């Protein structure tokens, strides 16, 4: 039986995704999370999850950083990005960072069902209306290199990097991860080497390069 995690902070949209998953698959094990921290914790606790439907803009996630986190910490889990942003360049970036599919929030139930079935069949899925424009969008050499560097980090190293990007000090990171401070320092040395940076400020900038503006919040403003 397939196992899906629906990661979105809007209950109504989670309900639509639940229905689409049940329509597409019949018997399916479903989990839900409303924050990025909850997503990562649930994936740690439920290693059988096959697919994550991941909102690009939810608490703790502002753009592609959440996608990078899931792919780095749980590389065996497929991810369909769900977003109100249908800019072909953003879709291209998401694919370059390991998304197996991209689903605009304006998509209908037929597209939702088709996306879930296709990705679980190990195919890449894009909405028909975006396929040509995404195909023409150029991959950024910087994005491709960044994705490769982030993928080289261990799950724990990625957690340390994310906390560095939040501005936490070594002792705070050690307390948060329940490890010794010297372990954090060892991780940082490895992170700097793998990312090709010299200090924690530069390391934090690497993750912030993955941030994207949220069209839904721009409309609300």
141-208 CATH choice from 3.40.50.11890, 1.20.140.10, 3.30.465.10, 1.10.10.10? 1.10.10.10
List pLDDT tens digits, range 126-178. 999 999 999 998 887 777 788 778 878 887 898 899 899 889 999 999 999 99
Find how far residue 131's CA is from the centre of its chain.
21
The model carries a pTM of 0.81
Q: Which CATH architecture has domain 3-136?
A: 3-Layer(aba) Sandwich (3.40)
Q: What is the 3-state secondary structure (H, E, C) of 88-103?
A: HHHHHHHHHCCCCEEE
Angle between helices 65-73 and 155-165 (to 10 degrees): 160
List pLDDT tens digits, range 38-92. 998 999 999 999 999 999 888 877 688 889 889 888 989 999 999 988 899 999 9
Cβ-Cβ contacts under 8 Å for 71 (sequence gap 6 or more):
79, 97, 98, 150, 151
Beta bridge partners of 30: 4
Structural domain boundaries in the chain: 3-136, 141-208
């Amino acid at each position: 039986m397939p196992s899906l995690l629906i990661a979105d902070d809007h209950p109504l949209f989670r309900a639509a995704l639940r229905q689409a998953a049940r329509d597409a698959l019949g018997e399916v094990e479903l989990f839900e999370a409303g924050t990025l921290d909850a997503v990562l914790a649930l994936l740690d606790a439920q290693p059988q999850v096959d697919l994550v439907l991941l909102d690009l803009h939810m608490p703790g996630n502002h753009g592609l950083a959440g996608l990078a986190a899931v792919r780095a910490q749980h590389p065996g889990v497929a991810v369909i990005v769900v977003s109100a942003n249908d800019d072909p360049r953003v879709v291209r970036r998401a694919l370059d960072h390991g998304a197996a599919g991209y689903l605009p929030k304006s998509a209908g139930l037929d597209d939702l069902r088709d996306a879930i079935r296709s990705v679980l069949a190990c195919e890449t899925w894009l909405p028909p209306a975006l396929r040509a424009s995404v195909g023409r969008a150029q991959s950024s050499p910087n994005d491709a290199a960044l994705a490769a560097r982030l993928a080289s980090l261990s799950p724990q190293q990625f957690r340390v990097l994310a906390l560095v990007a939040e501005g936490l000090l070594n002792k705070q990171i050690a307390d948060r991860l329940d490890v010794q401070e010297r372990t954090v320092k060892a991780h940082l040395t490895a992170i700097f080497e793998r990312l090709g940076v010299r200090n924690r400020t530069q390391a934090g900038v690497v993750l912030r390069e993955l941030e994207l503006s949220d069209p839904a919040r721009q409309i609300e403003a």
